[in-house]
Structure 1
Amino acid sequence: MPSFQTSRRVRHSAASMFDLVADVEKYPRFVPLCQGLAVRGRRALADGREVLVADMTVAYKMFRETFTSQVVLDRAKGEIQVSYLDGPFRSLENKWTFRETGEETCEVGFFISYEFKSRALGALMGAVFEQAFRRFAEAFESRADEVYGAA
Structure 2
Amino acid sequence: MTNKKTHLLLKALLDVSEAHSVKALRGNTKRANIRQVGSCGVLATRRDSLPLCPSIPLVTPSRSFINLVAPISSRRMEYTECRTLGFTPEQMYDVVANVEQYQHFVPWCKKSRVTKGPSGNDQAELEIGFPPVLERYSSEVTCIPNHQVRAVCSDGSLFNHLETIWRFAPQKNKEDSCKVDFYVSFEFRSLLHSQLASVFFDQVVKQMVSAFESRAATLYRNQQGASLRRRST
Given the two structures, how large is their TM-score scaled by the length of structure 1? 0.89
The structure whose Rg is larger is 2
Equivalence for 1:13? 88
Following superposition, the deviation at residue 42 of structure 1 comes to: 6.9
The answer as to 2:180 corresponding to 1:89 is: no
Following superposition, the deviation at residue 61 of structure 1 comes to: 2.8
Distance 2:92 2:162 in 1: 22
What's the secondary structure of 1:31's corresponding residue? coil
Q: Which sections of structure 2, spanning at least 5 residues, go unmatched? A: 1-75, 225-233
The answer as to 2:176 corresponding to 1:104 is: yes
Structure 1 residues 20, 90: closer, same or farther in 2, change over 3 A?
same
Bigger share in helix: 2
Q: Give the aligned CA root-mean-square deviation in angstroms.
A: 2.0
Q: Percent identity?
A: 29
The answer as to 2:205 corresponding to 1:130 is: no
The answer as to 2:108 corresponding to 1:36 is: no
The answer as to 2:136 corresponding to 1:62 is: no
What's the secondary structure of 1:32's corresponding residue? coil
Moved over 3 A (4+): none
Structure 1 residues 22, 42: closer, same or farther in 2, change over 3 A?
farther
Distance 2:117 2:101 in 1: 16
Given the two structures, how large is their TM-score scaled by the length of structure 2? 0.58
Equivalent pairs counted in the alignment come to: 144
Bigger share in strand: 1
The answer as to 2:144 corresponding to 1:74 is: yes
Q: Which sections of structure 1, spanning at least 5 residues, go unmatched? A: 46-50
Indicate the structure whose relative CO is greater, using CA pairs within 8 Å and at least 6 residues apart. 1
Distance 1:122 1:83 in 2: 19
